[in-house]
Structure 1
Amino acid sequence: MNYKELIQKDLITDNTKELSEDKLFLKTKQNEKYSKDISKYITPKELIQNLTLKTKFIGITGTNGKTTTAFVLGHLLQQAGYSVGIQGTEGFYLNGEKIEAKTLTTPPIFTTIKRAVKYEPDFYIMEVSSHAIVQQRIEGIEFTAKILTSFSQDHLDYHKTMEEYKRVKESFFRDETVKVFNGKLLVKNEKCKVKSGGYEFNLNCKNLYVLEKPIVDDIPMAGEFNKMNFSLALKTASLLTNSSLSTFNFSLFEGVPGRMEIVSKKPLVIIDFAHTPDGMEKVLSAVEGKKIVVFGAGGDRDKDKRHLMGEVADKYAEYIIITEDNPRCEDSNEICKEIAKGIKSIPYKIISNRKDAIKEAVDIAKKKNYTLMLLGKGDENYIQYCDKKIDYSDRETVKKLLSNKVVKVN
C-alpha cells in the first residue's frame, strides 16, 4: 500500500465525520474516544513507519525561547546545505519562506505528518508545547534530537502546579535520542539530574548535552538571554551534521518576527512575544536606558503569573501602561487590575484598548526620549475575544502612528 499516495489523494483521515468506505482512518490518542467502533485503522506510529520518510524530526520545548532557537537552528542547517521545515508559533516555514499560517504551536499529529509528506524536508524542526506532550499530539514521531530552551512559570491554568508542569517537560527527555539541555548538570550516573529554572529534572544520560552557559558571544540579536538560544541551536546543528562549531556563522541571520524586533528607531520601539514573568525579565533587562512598557496578560490562562508580570515591569520601567492581550472570555479591565497588584513604585495607567494604549505610549516615548517596549503579542496578527477574533498587529499599529495615518480604534 502506497501511504504517501493515500495522503496525497486525501484517502486517509483522522476525522470520524469524514470517514467513508474508501478512506483509511488514522486513530490517534486525541480521537480514540470517538472511534471505538472503527476496526479498520492505522496509528500515527504505523503510518510514519510505512511512509519511510527521509525527514529527521527535531523537537524544541521550553517556556521561552522555542521560536528563536528553531529559527536559528533552521538557518544553520540551511547553511550546511539541508532543506528545513519549521513548525511552531509563527506557522510553517520551508527554507525560510512562510508556507502556512499558524494554527496551534504544535498542531495535531496528522497535520505534521501531511506537511512532512508534502514538503519532505531533510529536517523538520517542531516547537513542542507542554499541552501537546500531554495531549500526545506528537505520538509516533521518533525524534532525532530534542532541546530544552528554558523552564519557568507558565500554563498553570492547565498544569495546576509547577511540579506537574516540570514532570510533563521531563517526560519528553526520557529516551536515548540526542538531548541538548539548558541547565546545570548536578549528578551523572545511571540517571542524570539537571537543574533548570530552579527545578531538578531526572533525565536519560545517553546522548545528553547540557549547556551551563552560552558557547557563543557575538550574535545578531539583542539580549543576553538570546546567547543561550543561539548556543542551543549551534550545539544541536553541530551534532546533527557531525561538524565543528566553527563551521557555522550567524552573519546572514535576519532575526525572528516579533522577537526583540525593532519596528522604529526614532523613537526606539521594540516588540517582543514575552508573556511570562521570566520572559519579561529577560527582555527588559536586555535593553538599556529608560523604558515605557506596554503589556497585558491573556485571559482564561494562568492567573497566578499576572501580578508577577507587574512586579517585573515595576523593576525595569519608568512608566507602565497595562492593556489587553487576548482577553478571551475575561474582562480586560479585571485582568489589568490583577497585573497592577504587582506594581508598587512606578507610575502606571490602565488603558484597555491596545491601540489607544500604544498611541499614548508612542507620544510619551517621543516627548521623553524613552524606549518603548511592546510585550506579549510579538508577531501575532489578531486579538482574541470571547466570541470573535479581530485583525490586529502591534507592528502595523506603530507604523501607522508614526506615519501620521489614522489608526482606527474599535
Structure 2
Amino acid sequence: MKLHELAHVLKDVNPERSMPHPEVVIRGISYKSQEVEEGYLFVAIKGHKQNGHHYIDEAIENGACAVIGEEVERGLEVPYFQVENSRKALSLISDHYYHFPTADKILIGVTGTNGKTTTGSLIRNILEDNGWSCAFFGSTNNVINGEVYTTGNTTPTLLEINRRLYGSNDDVVVIEVSSHALTQHRVEGVAFDYALFTNLSHDHLDYHGSMENYFQAKKKLFGMLKKSGKAIINTDNHWGALLAEQLRGQGQPVISIGEKDMDDVKVDRYTSNPNSLLLKDGDGTLSMRPSLYGLHNMYNIAMAYATVVQIGVKAEDAVFSIERFEGVEGRFTVMELKSGTAVAIDYSHTPDALFHCLNTTRELCAGKLIHLFGFRGDRDGSKRKEMISISSELSDQYILTSDDLNSVTSEEMKDILIDLQEKYGNRNGRVILDRTRAIEEALASTGENDWVLITGKGHETYQQSYHYPVENDGEAVSFLDEK
C-alpha cells in the first residue's frame, strides 16, 4: 500500500500535511510506537489507560512514514490523517493492507459471558476432525494453519487477525468476540457467517456500567452478520431470549438452543453419573457420552453442534467428534492426586459460572468439597458478595486468596478479603493470601473421595510471585502432590 492509496481508503479524510512522496510504500502498520519500524504507518489510539497520541513523536523517530489519529496535531514531519475513530480506521486499513484475508473464509463469532472458549474450541475440533481446516482466535491461544500462538486479549484487533490470516489456508475462522472488543471496534468491518450467543450474566460492570449496556455491547456482533448469516442463540436465559426476539423481529434467521420443545436444538436430557447427553435436532434424537462435565457444558456442546451441522458436518460425525473432545486447559481440568483427592481447575470468575462449576463438582464429589478462589484487583467489585454467598452455600469449606493484584497492593487485597469474609462469609471460610499456600492448605485438608475446586485463573499464568516457585494453578497442584 502506498501513501496515496491510504488517502483513498480513508476517503474524505485529508492529511494535515501534504504528501511530498505519495508513492512511498507503507511497509507495515502498528498502533504500538515501540514496534514501529522504517516505513511503518502508526495509528494513534486512545486506550483505557494510555493515549497513543502521546507517542507519535516516538513512532516518527522509529521511522513512521505517516500517522493516523483523532486529535489535532500540527507541525509533524510526516503526513497526519485526522479521523473520527482511530480504531475503526485501523480495521479498515488493515483489511486493505492485507488484501481482505477473511473474504474467502467462513467466519464464526462467539460471544457471551461464559462458554466462549469451550464452544469455540469444540467447533474447531469438530471441523478439523471432519475435513475443514479451522483457525481459532481465543483467550487460551490462537491457532492458524495448525500452528499454535500465544495470545494477549480474548479478541485481538483486526490488524492482528489479518496479519495472522494473510496467506492462511484455513477454510473457517472462529473468533471469540468479547464485549470490550465490540465496544472498541476491534473487529470493525468483519462480516460473520454465524454469530453465537452463549449466555449473559453479571460481569464487566466496572467497564459497561449496567447489564443493559453490557447486553447492547454483545448485541453489536449480530449487526455484523452477512445478509445470509445466521444467529445461534442459547435462549434459556433472559438476555438470550430477548436477543432472539429482537433479531426475529428484524427478520434475522435465528437458531435457538434450549430445553424447550420449540427450540431448534433441544438439550433434552443430561445425567452426570454416568455422563450422558440427549439432544433433539428437529425430528432426530442424538445420544452421546461427552467427556465434558456439567449442564453448562451441555449447552456449549449444543451450540457447537448446531453450528457445525449448518456448515455441513453430518450429525453422527459431529457426535463422534464431541465424544472425543477432552476439553480446554483450565476449563474444569481434573487432576487425580496420590491421596485420592480430585482437583478441578477452572477459569470461572463470574457468579453464574461459579454456580455451575460448584454444582458440577458437587455432583461428582462423594466426600468433602473445598473451594479456593479470589478476586482481581481494580475489577468489578459488585459481584464479590454474590460469589462468596454461592461458595459458602455449595462448598463444605472455602478459602479466599489472591488473584491478579493489578494495581492493588498485596496488603490492600488482604484487607479486602478479610473485610469480605467478615461481612458476607460464614464460619466455613477463611483467608490465606498466598495462593500457593492456600492450595497447599486445601490439599492437606482432603483425602480419598474429596474434591478441591480452584477457580479464577484457569490456564492463566500468575502475575505475581508466591511462596512456591510455580507459574499457574496446575503447576502448583502438581508440585505440592510430589512434595
TM-score computed with the length of structure 1 as normaliser: 0.84
Per the alignment, residue 332 of structure 1 pairs with: 413
8 Å CA contact 1:295–1:325 kept in 2: the answer is yes
**1:244 Cα deviation from its structure 2 partner:** 3.8
8 Å CA contact 1:307–1:341 kept in 2: the answer is no
8 Å CA contact 2:290–2:324 kept in 1: the answer is no
- For the residue of structure 1 that corresponds to 2:404, the secondary structure is coil
Per the alignment, residue 226 of structure 1 pairs with: 297
Identity %: 28
Residue 351 (structure 1) aligned to one of 409, 429, 432: 432
8 Å CA contact 1:13–1:23 kept in 2: the answer is yes
Q: Output the amino acid matched with 2:371.
A: V
Residue 316 (structure 2) aligned to one of 214, 232, 246: 246
Give deviations 1:278-333, integer Å, cap 9, x for gaps: 00000010122331000001111100001111011011100010001102122221
**1:384 Cα deviation from its structure 2 partner:** 5.3
Per the alignment, residue 165 of structure 1 pairs with: 214
Supply the distance in 1 between the matched residues of 2:257 and 2:334 (Cα, whole angstroms). Answer: 29
Q: 1:72 to 1:34 in 2, by over 3 A?
A: farther
Q: Output the amino acid matched with 1:245.
A: A
Per the alignment, residue 322 of structure 1 pairs with: 400
8 Å CA contact 1:355–1:397 kept in 2: the answer is yes
8 Å CA contact 1:307–1:338 kept in 2: the answer is no
Taking only aligned residues, the RMSD between alpha carbons, in angstroms, comes to 3.0
Per the alignment, residue 463 of structure 2 pairs with: 383
Per the alignment, residue 353 of structure 2 pairs with: 279
Per the alignment, residue 28 of structure 2 pairs with: 12
Supply the distance in 2 between the matched residues of 1:46 and 1:15 (Cα, whole angstroms). Answer: 12
Per the alignment, residue 232 of structure 2 pairs with: 180
Per the alignment, residue 407 of structure 1 pairs with: none
Give deviations 1:183-224, integer Å, cap 9, x for gaps: 15xxxxxxxxx8337866632442211112323663211111
Per the alignment, residue 191 of structure 1 pairs with: none
- Mean Cα deviation higher: 36-45 or 112-121: 36-45
8 Å CA contact 1:61–1:127 kept in 2: the answer is yes
Equivalenced residue count is: 383
- Mean Cα deviation higher: 338-347 or 36-45: 36-45
Supply the distance in 1 between the matched residues of 2:370 and 2:101 (Cα, whole angstroms). Answer: 53
- For the residue of structure 1 that corresponds to 2:222, the secondary structure is coil
- For the residue of structure 1 that corresponds to 2:445, the secondary structure is helix
Supply the distance in 1 between the matched residues of 2:380 and 2:242 (Cα, whole angstroms). Answer: 19
- For the residue of structure 1 that corresponds to 2:238, the secondary structure is strand
User: Unaligned stretches of 5+ in structure 2?
Assistant: 3-24, 48-67, 74-78, 84-88, 260-266, 268-278, 280-285
Supply the distance in 1 between the matched residues of 2:44 and 2:133 (Cα, whole angstroms). Answer: 30
Supply the distance in 2 between the matched residues of 1:355 and 1:260 (Cα, whole angstroms). Answer: 19
Q: Are 1:91 and 2:134 matched, yes or no?
A: no
Supply the distance in 1 between the matched residues of 2:252 and 2:240 (Cα, whole angstroms). Answer: 22
Q: Output the amino acid matched with 2:214.
A: Y
Structure ID, larger Rg: 2
8 Å CA contact 2:195–2:230 kept in 1: the answer is yes
Q: Output the amino acid matched with 2:388.
A: G
Per the alignment, residue 293 of structure 1 pairs with: 371
- Mean Cα deviation higher: 336-345 or 276-285: 336-345
8 Å CA contact 2:144–2:165 kept in 1: the answer is no
Supply the distance in 2 between the matched residues of 1:149 and 1:310 (Cα, whole angstroms). Answer: 24
8 Å CA contact 2:109–2:221 kept in 1: the answer is no
Supply the distance in 2 between the matched residues of 1:160 and 1:26 (Cα, whole angstroms). Answer: 28
Per the alignment, residue 267 of structure 1 pairs with: 341
TM-score computed with the length of structure 2 as normaliser: 0.72
Supply the distance in 1 between the matched residues of 2:45 and 2:193 (Cα, whole angstroms). Answer: 22
Q: How does 1:9-408 map to 2 (within 5 A)?
A: 11-15=27-31, 17=33, 22-23=39-40, 32-33=69-70, 38-39=80-81, 44-45=91-92, 47-48=94-95, 50-51=99-100, 53=102, 54-94=104-144, 99-174=148-223, 175=225, 176=227, 177-184=229-236, 195-196=238-239, 202-203=246-247, 204-213=250-259, 214=267, 215=279, 218-241=289-312, 243-248=313-318, 249=320, 250-265=322-337, 266-287=340-361, 288=363, 289=365, 290-330=368-408, 331-337=412-418, 339-340=420-421, 343-366=424-447, 369-383=449-463, 392-404=471-483
Tell which has more relative contact order, 1 or 2 (C-alpha 8 A, sep 6+): 1
Supply the distance in 2 between the matched residues of 1:144 and 1:28 (Cα, whole angstroms). Answer: 29
Supply the distance in 1 between the matched residues of 2:389 and 2:241 (Cα, whole angstroms). Answer: 19
Give deviations 1:92-127, integer Å, cap 9, x for gaps: 124665x21121111222111111115342112111
